[in-house]
Structure 1
Amino acid sequence: MSLQFRGQVISTEREDGTSLMAPDVLIFRYPKEQITSKSLFIVQPTENCVVVIQGQVQAVLPPGTHNIQSPQNPLSSFMSRFRYNQLPFDTVALFVSTTRHEVRIQGKSQTDDLVPLDYEVAVYYRITDPSKLVINVQFAGAFFKDGELASYLSPIIDQEVSSILNQVKLVDVYKKFGDISVAVTGALKQFLAELGVELISVRVTRLIPEDPELRRIIQLRDLGLEVEKAVRMGLARVLTEQGNPASVNMAIGTPYYPNLTTLVNLPQRLLQFSMGGKEVEKDEQDQPKGA
């Protein structure tokens, strides 16, 4: 008897107390074969339920308990209008989350001096019009999640980020965090409003060169080193990892000649010495025999 009653309840709560609405789930499509005219819709406080019948949104059920056969229920009004004794088989119940969500979108761009950059933008939002979201997104499975919404937002964010980064040099990139946030916020706010989503805020969480060596050089520069010294220290680290003894010389900025004799080949019978600041060259044959 309890199992039969449980089968008539349309809800995102499982029998063991867990929920089908995970933190990253925006929409859950309830199996339509379990929806009947005797079903009891139970909508949780963090959800709305959008009921679609024959391809049209017929009701948006707020949190609470909804009996289809109740005279005040919009679904019963639908059935009486068309003189249906029961809900058509083509009835879909879509549970939509109304809590605050976050999605992080990553991409690549480049500066005016052709330096590749990796960026990450965090977008915070909540759904305010569930029926509008259901109408404007497509998904094949039972769930529509944050990551799928990110695929809608990624081209817009990439366009706004690149429109700013492509016009600045690398040295000025980190002065543009505010401009990037403003540009992305303006574009996303208009787009998400068309989906029934309220944009809460946008934050640029990462903007770094793609090359790890260049990232380290910039970090050393920001610590107070001159650019030339920062480059030397970066190269010295690479040489150290390779086990090259020239790493110390690279770090302090002095030449390193490991095998000077192989670089400078002097004639065996030619002597070079300094006397009074003047260089004198003599052949060994011209020296006295007693020398």
Structure 2
Amino acid sequence: MSLRAQVISTELENGTSLMTQDTIIYRFPKENITSKSLFIVQPTERCIVVIQGQIAADLPPGTHNIQSPANPLSAFLSKFRYSSLPYDTVVYFVSMTRHEVRVAGISQTDDLVPLEYEVAVYFRVQNPSLLVTNVQFSSQYFKDADLAGYINPIIDQEVSQVLNNVKLVDVYKKFSDISTAVTAGLKTFLNEIGIDLISVRVTKLIPQDPELRRILQLRDLGIEINDAIRLGLARILAERSDPSSVNMALGTPYFPQLSTIVIGGYYIPFGTPPTHASPPTRTEAPGTPTGTPAQPQIQSIQSALKAVFGGGR
């Protein structure tokens, strides 16, 4: 803040401004402003002077000398017979340029699918005196993020009223309905605090689950929904180094290591069970016909399985 010979402005000595791009209101840090103060208001600002809780002046861009008879502060001082400005004098600089606020939140569809949304709100201050008397300051600045806290409940209510009544497959057909609802709700509220709403735009509306987002992206690329789900599962398996991921992507069965399958009894996938000549001896494997080695028969069964089903290592 540059304060040279009671000059009150948002410009610093090095040429930079305290009225940054995201600043809506800047409050001058000192309240003991003398009657010889000179107010310099930049072309993109308005200056609101509050004395003892009352708005004494709304100064347009330019230079304003408090002692000038035409100055509204001089009329205020003469009305109350002040020889100088009282100690509790507060000066606000209000930005009159176009601002943008982005509000994000989470809602859900009629089929209980959580959705993340983001809404961009474009506005400018129409009545700076009304705005100053309707917002609260936690510091010297009232920024775009502070205004987002004011309008967040309204946007969340309007977005949820639309999303709670549609299915997930129809959500992306409701962009215009969401914009219309949010615009109607915000316009009334912002007008009450001196802000003119320019436009509203829905910038993001996606499922909260990242896997569901990828499946919807594959579907929008022209892939059938069942294939899109299978490809999503294949990606998860691939991240786990699971060899069945390729089979999942191709839609073919996966038979891991047929050599590990243990086949007991007299079961053979083809043909009829052999006839026993006598009970098996101690040197024969259980379930093996008499006089026939166990290992060659199991190997033949495994070969048959590989020939029919394929796969295995």
Q: TM-score, length-normalised on structure 1? A: 0.92
Q: Say if 2:39 and 2:64, in contact at 8 Å, map to a contact too.
A: yes
Q: Say if 1:161 and 1:180, in contact at 8 Å, map to a contact too.
A: yes
Unpaired runs of at least 5, structure 1: 274-278
Cα separation, 1, equivalents of 2:258 and 2:84: 97
| Matched residue type, 1:282 | P
The match for 2:99 is 101
The match for 1:37 is 35
1:125 paired residue among 99, 123, 126: 123
Q: Deviations over 1:24-74 (max 9, x none)?
A: 001011023452111100000000000001101111000000000000000
After TM superposition, the structure 1 = structure 2 runs for residues 155-174 of structure 1, keeping only pairs within 5 Å, are: 155-174=153-172
Q: Deviations over 1:145-186 (max 9, x none)?
A: 000000000000000000010011100000000000000000
Cα separation, 2, equivalents of 1:58 and 1:211: 54
Q: Say if 1:50 and 1:93, in contact at 8 Å, map to a contact too.
A: yes
Q: Say if 1:270 and 1:284, in contact at 8 Å, map to a contact too.
A: no
Q: How many residues align?
A: 281
CA change 1:213–1:289 in 2 (3 A) is: closer
The match for 2:23 is 25
The Cα of 1:140 is off from its aligned counterpart by 2.5
Q: Which has more radius of gyration?
A: 2
Q: Say if 2:32 and 2:87, in contact at 8 Å, map to a contact too.
A: no
Cα separation, 2, equivalents of 1:60 and 1:283: 110
Cα separation, 2, equivalents of 1:33 and 1:289: 111
Cα separation, 2, equivalents of 1:127 and 1:114: 38
Unpaired runs of at least 5, structure 2: 279-288, 293-313
RMSD of aligned residue pairs (Cα, Å): 1.9
Q: TM-score, length-normalised on structure 2? A: 0.86
| Matched residue type, 1:191 | F
For the residue of structure 2 that corresponds to 1:249, the secondary structure is helix
Cα separation, 2, equivalents of 1:68 and 1:98: 23
Cα separation, 2, equivalents of 1:107 and 1:270: 61
The match for 1:86 is 84
The match for 2:300 is none
Cα separation, 2, equivalents of 1:271 and 1:55: 97
Cα separation, 1, equivalents of 2:269 and 2:105: 63
Could you tell which deviates more after superposition, 250-259 or 27-36? Answer: 27-36
The Cα of 1:7 is off from its aligned counterpart by 3.8
| Matched residue type, 2:102 | R
After TM superposition, the structure 1 = structure 2 runs for residues 231-250 of structure 1, keeping only pairs within 5 Å, are: 231-250=229-248
The match for 2:308 is none
The match for 2:254 is 256
For the residue of structure 2 that corresponds to 1:65, the secondary structure is strand
The match for 1:282 is 274
| Matched residue type, 1:18 | T
Cα separation, 2, equivalents of 1:251 and 1:272: 29
Q: Say if 2:125 and 2:194, in contact at 8 Å, map to a contact too.
A: yes
Cα separation, 1, equivalents of 2:242 and 2:254: 11
CA change 1:195–1:260 in 2 (3 A) is: same
Higher strand content, 1 or 2: 1
The match for 1:276 is none
Cα separation, 1, equivalents of 2:125 and 2:213: 38
Cα separation, 2, equivalents of 1:102 and 1:25: 11
The Cα of 1:234 is off from its aligned counterpart by 0.3
